[in-house]
């Protein structure tokens, strides 16, 4: 009985995306490239916005926070996967696995809240332009970001505490390339019904409130745009929402695809491959979306790169 207790577990085995040895170098090169592009792209967004004083506004303050969180989000999963592929090892220690669960949920949730805050910012800018600077003051912006971090700190901590109550066999295989909370519940030898119910209810609350906020914000934005008589004003106002809408669609679209696929298909391998979109591809594409669709960011990036290449 003592051998099955989770206290004697030294590590889990991450099965990864493929066990084909010939495919491992390709996967390593692909994910290393994607990770470097993600880190570099988001870092350039942060540096570009920081270097331009006229971009020190609430919208770009939230954008730099989103870029920072995307770097952290990807860094919770990809580096460990690259190490395992390179060393031809599948192991992840018990502590590292639970730490990965914590930070994965933590940064994914903050991403969720930041997208909601950015939608609220656009709602105030378009629907209440005269009061924008009063409503979106620096204190409120910092408070909104801080509240996102506090909420997700406790949310993630609760799930890790629940996981620590479970038992696992000595050699526990996780059919994924990182420690995902749902997969850990599946491979546990404990009765996980209560924990799973808590997981779904709490996750639903964390997702439903932000999504409701985004939908409400854009419903008010559309209503305000419909009342505008000038087509140019409509286009100018809505163009500031274009990048955000693309990121929201990509974030929730891929996340929804992962969970729908896991519910429809019984193949863990297919769900694992699809989850790459949510965990790796989305954070990588966000900088491109904001730099290609936003003239201010594109101009700031151009000036930043120009200064870097021209030297002192």
Query: What's the rounded Cα separation, in Å, for the pair 63 and 50?
Result: 11
Residue 177 backbone phi and psi in degrees, to 5: -95, 0
What is the structure's pLDDT at 7?
45
| 1 pLDDT above the threshold of 60 | no
Q: Is residue 88 left, alpha or beta, with left meaning phi > 0 and alpha meaning psi from -120 to 50? A: left
| 3 pLDDT above the threshold of 50 | no
- DSSP reduced 3-state for 80: helix
pTM, two decimals, is 0.88
Q: Which residue blocks in 188-281 are alpha helix, DSSP H?
A: 193-227, 231-264, 268-276
User: Could you tell me which residues are beta bridge partners of residue 91?
Assistant: 13
Query: What's the rounded Cα separation, in Å, for the pair 195 and 65?
Result: 31
175, exposed or middle or buried, with CB in 10 Å at 0-12, 13-18, 19+?
A: middle
Name the least confident of 48-52, 98-102, 172-176, 259-263: 259-263
| 103 pLDDT above the threshold of 60 | yes
When pLDDT is cut at 50, 70 and 90, the band that residue 4 belongs to is very low
Beta strand 172-174 with 91-93 is unpaired
Name the least confident of 7-16, 118-127, 277-286: 7-16
DSSP designation for 69: H
For the ranges 58-67, 83-92, 184-193, the one whose mean pLDDT is highest: 58-67
When pLDDT is cut at 50, 70 and 90, the band that residue 264 belongs to is low
pLDDT in tens, 215-231: 999 999 988 888 887 77
pLDDT in tens, 136-193: 999 999 999 999 999 999 999 998 998 888 888 777 888 888 898 888 888 888 888 8
pLDDT in tens, 229-254: 777 777 777 777 878 888 888 888 77
When pLDDT is cut at 50, 70 and 90, the band that residue 276 belongs to is confident
pLDDT average, residue stretch 85-107? 90
Distance of CA 273 to the CA centre of its chain: 17
What is the structure's pLDDT at 300?
79
Beta strand 11-14 with 91-93 is antiparallel
Query: What's the rounded Cα separation, in Å, for the pair 18 and 215?
Result: 38
When pLDDT is cut at 50, 70 and 90, the band that residue 312 belongs to is low
What is the structure's pLDDT at 6?
44
Listed by start position, the domains of the chain span 2-310
Q: State percent of the chain over pLDDT 70.
A: 91
CATH of segment(s) 2-310: 1.20.1070.10
Residue 92 backbone phi and psi in degrees, to 5: -140, 130
When pLDDT is cut at 50, 70 and 90, the band that residue 90 belongs to is confident
What is the structure's pLDDT at 2?
41
């Amino acid at each position: 009985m003592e051998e099955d207790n989770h206290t004697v577990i030294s590590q889990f085995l991450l099965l990864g995306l493929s066990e084909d040895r010939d495919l491992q170098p390709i996967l390593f090169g692909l994910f290393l490239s994607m990770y470097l592009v993600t880190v570099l792209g988001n870092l350039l967004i942060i540096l570009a916005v920081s270097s331009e004083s006229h971009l020190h506004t609430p919208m770009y303050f939230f954008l730099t926070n989103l870029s920072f969180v995307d770097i952290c989000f990807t860094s919770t999963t990809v580096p460990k996967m690259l190490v395992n592929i390179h060393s031809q090892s599948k192991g992840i220690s018990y502590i590292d696995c639970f730490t990965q669960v914590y930070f994965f949920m933590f940064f994914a949730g903050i991403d969720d809240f930041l997208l909601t805050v950015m939608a609220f910012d656009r709602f105030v800018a378009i629907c209440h332009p005269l009061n924008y600077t009063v409503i979106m003051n620096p204190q409120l912006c910092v408070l909104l970001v801080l509240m996102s971090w506090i909420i997700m700190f406790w949310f993630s901590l609760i799930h890790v505490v629940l996981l620590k109550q479970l038992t696992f066999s000595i050699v526990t295989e996780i059919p994924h390339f990182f420690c995902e909370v749902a997969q850990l519940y599946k491979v546990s030898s404990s009765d996980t019904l209560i924990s799973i119910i808590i997981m779904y209810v709490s996750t639903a609350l964390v997702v439903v409130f932000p999504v409701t906020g985004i939908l409400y914000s854009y419903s008010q934005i559309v209503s305000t745009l419909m009342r505008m008589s000038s087509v140019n004003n409509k286009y100018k106002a809505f163009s500031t929402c274009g990048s955000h809408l693309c990121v929201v669609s990509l974030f929730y679209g891929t996340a929804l695809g992962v969970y729908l696929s896991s519910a429809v298909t019984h193949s863990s391998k297919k769900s694992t491959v699809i989850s790459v979109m949510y965990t790796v591809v989305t954070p990588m594409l966000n900088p491109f979306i904001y730099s290609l669709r936003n003239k201010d960011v594109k101009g700031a990036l151009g000036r930043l790169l120009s200064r870097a290449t021209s030297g002192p």
